[in-house]
């Protein structure tokens, strides 16, 4: 049996960063930028006002105060999006709104609050009293203060987040080159499985793995391709997998333990190559990995990585987080493949008799600056609702036979701390 780290290293050695594609900026959230982005414009394009107020010449405000206002003639009003036809001459001012370009001749903006605008109530709007001295550049946002023409704005390799989407939009970019999302084909195996759109006959169960795994693929940025349910026979499995041979990765669930009907291993051996089929962890010991002969999108023969997740619903989700997630992120060109971990005080004892790494479902809370983890309850790997309670996985190392309540443990976070 190999360790979690050895298994992950093996899997990652079989996947590569995918090619590039052009994507609309809203379609590439979470993807890695595949080009350097330069700006062909200044942002903002012109000097503009940071306040609603009066654009004026600072020299006209010398000695201005509440007690001795300086009165200026108002020659125009300029809203955002317009350019005043007038030039601010000595003794004049232009009423200006936030974002409007600074008129010629003016070099500061005095906000309404520092004028007698409020007292006038629109009565004498061709004159304004300025109640403070203005320095040059006051309340002016300079052209190019955010981005200058010709500068590099975003570098190849960054992950597109909402802020990158916004910056791209501010440059007028509607599409960019990114590393494409991997297509992950998902095949559930088991004679007992029924699709969620069918009635449930006696003796059968609904196929939940297809949907939890597809949701995980989506969550981490991949494109799930649902292949449906294969029966526990080599023929059925091979027929199912055949529908996924253009995918970047194949995921099966079930059929990897040592029962009579566990066929994924056999198919891997016959149709490709098997790299390993057990990992020293709990849950998730039966986990098969290998490659299947397939074809690329361009029709070229190639080996597709196949991850055979265990059938138990909890095991399939946890092994996905540990092994499929990093593979997807690597294919997407990401550098940080690890889930964050926190050190927490464990509130329940855990016994580890099997010499495997335990990943126990837990609820992690922060109280008084300290993380605490308590188990979700029974840890049977068929209890899928426990995953809805958990936001973390307590890690008990292989060589640790027990953890006592109150011990410090490492917790891999699946979701935010509650
Ligand atoms: P297996 O690994 O095929 O022996 O399956 C282990 C357990 O997980 C069995 O109880 C199966 O019924 C259950 N199981 C397997 N596949 C699924 C699935 N797609 N959805 C829900 N339960 C499953
Ligand atoms: Mg099965």
Nearest CA to ligand 1 atom 8: 312
Q: Considering every ligand atom shown, identify the ligand nearest to the alpha carbon of residue 209 and give its number.
A: 1
Which atom of ligand 1 is nearest to 207's Cα? 20
Residues in the chain: 418
Nearest CA to ligand 1 atom 7: 312
**Measured distance between the N- and C-terminal CA atoms of the chain, rounded to whole angstroms:** 35
* Site to substitute for ligand 1 among 288, 312, 381, 387, most atoms within 8 A of C-beta: 312
* Site to substitute for ligand 1 among 212, 253, 264, most atoms within 8 A of C-beta: 253
- The finding on whether 207 has its CB within 6 A of some atom of ligand 1 is yes
> Could you give the CA distance from residue 73 to residue 93 in angstroms, rounded to a whole number?
6
- The finding on whether 254 has its CB within 6 A of some atom of ligand 1 is yes
Confidence of residue 122 (pLDDT cuts 50, 70, 90): low
Q: Reduced to 3 states, what is the DSSP secondary structure of residue 368? A: coil
Question: E-assigned strands of 254-376?
Answer: 272-278, 281-282, 286-295, 301-309, 341-346, 350-351, 357-367, 370-375
> Could you give the CA distance from residue 381 to residue 43 in angstroms, rounded to a whole number?
54
- State residue 192's pLDDT score: 97
Q: How far is the CA of 255 from the centre of ligand 2 (A)?
A: 4
CB 242 within 8 A of CB 185: no
Q: Considering every ligand atom shown, identify the ligand nearest to the alpha carbon of residue 310 and give its number.
A: 1
**Per-residue pLDDT tens digits for 315-337:** 999 999 999 999 999 999 999 99
Rounded to the nearest 5°, which phi and psi values hold at 243? -75, -10
**Per-residue pLDDT tens digits for 234-285:** 999 999 999 999 999 999 999 998 787 789 999 999 999 999 999 999 998 9
* Site to substitute for ligand 1 among 188, 190, 212, most atoms within 8 A of C-beta: 190
**Per-residue pLDDT tens digits for 348-391:** 999 999 999 999 999 999 999 999 999 999 999 999 999 999 99
The residues near 134 (Cβ < 8 Å, ≥ 6 apart) are 56, 58, 61, 64, 108, 109, 110
Could you tell me which of 101, 97, 86, 188 has the C-alpha nearest to residue 141?
Answer: 101
Mean local confidence (pLDDT), 80-103 = 98
- The finding on whether 313 has its CB within 6 A of some atom of ligand 1 is yes
- State residue 125's pLDDT score: 72
- State residue 123's pLDDT score: 62
> Could you give the CA distance from residue 344 to residue 239 in angstroms, rounded to a whole number?
46
- State residue 124's pLDDT score: 65
Distances from the Cα of 373 to the Cα of 63, 315, 343, angstroms: 65, 20, 9
């Amino acid at each position: 049996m190999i360790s979690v780290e050895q298994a992950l290293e093996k899997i990652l050695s079989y996947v590569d960063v995918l090619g590039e594609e052009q994507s609309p900026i809203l379609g590439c959230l979470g993807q890695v930028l595949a080009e350097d982005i330069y700006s062909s414009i200044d942002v903002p394009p012109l000097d503009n006002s940071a306040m609603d107020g009066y654009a004026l010449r600072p020299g006209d405000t010398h000695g201005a105060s509440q007690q001795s206002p300086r009165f200026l003639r108002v020659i125009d009003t300029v809203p955002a999006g317009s350019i005043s036809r007038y030039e601010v001459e000595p003794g004049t001012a232009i009423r200006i709104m936030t974002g409007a370009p600074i008129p010629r001749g003016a070099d500061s903006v005095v906000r309404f609050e520092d004028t007698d605008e409020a007292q006038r109530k629109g009565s004498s709007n061709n004159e304004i009293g300025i109640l403070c001295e203005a320095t040059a550049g006051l309340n002016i946002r300079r052209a190019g203060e955010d981005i200058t023409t010709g500068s590099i704005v975003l570098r190849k390799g960054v992950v597109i987040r909402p802020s990158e989407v916004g910056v791209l939009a501010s440059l007028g970019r509607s599409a960019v080159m990114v590393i494409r999302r991997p297509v992950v084909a998902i095949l559930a195996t088991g004679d007992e499985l029924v699709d969620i759109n069918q009635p449930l006959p006696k003796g059968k169960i609904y196929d939940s793995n297809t949907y939890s795994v597809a949701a995980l693929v989506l969550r981490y940025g991949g494109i799930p391709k649902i292949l449906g349910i294969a029966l526990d026979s080599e023929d059925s499995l091979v027929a199912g997998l055949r529908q996924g041979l253009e995918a970047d990765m194949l995921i099966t669930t079930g059929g990897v333990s040592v029962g009579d009907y566990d066929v994924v291993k056999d198919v891997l051996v016959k149709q490709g190559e098997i790299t390993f089929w057990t990992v020293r962890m709990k849950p998730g010991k039966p986990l098969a990995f290998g490659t299947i002969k397939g074809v690329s999108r361009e029709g070229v023969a190639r080996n597709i990585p196949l991850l055979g997740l265990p059938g138990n619903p909890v095991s399939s989700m946890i092994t996905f987080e540990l092994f499929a997630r990093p593979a997807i992120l690597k294919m997407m060109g990401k550098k940080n493949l690890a889930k964050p971990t926190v050190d927490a005080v464990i509130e329940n004892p855990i016994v580890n008799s099997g010499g495997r790494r335990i990943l126990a479902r837990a609820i992690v809370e922060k109280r008084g600056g300290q993380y605490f983890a308590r188990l979700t309850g029974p840890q049977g790997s068929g209890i899928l609702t426990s995953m809805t309670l958990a936001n973390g996985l307590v890690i008990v190392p292989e060589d640790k036979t027990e953890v006592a309540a109150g011990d410090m443990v490492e917790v891999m976070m699946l979701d935010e701390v509650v």
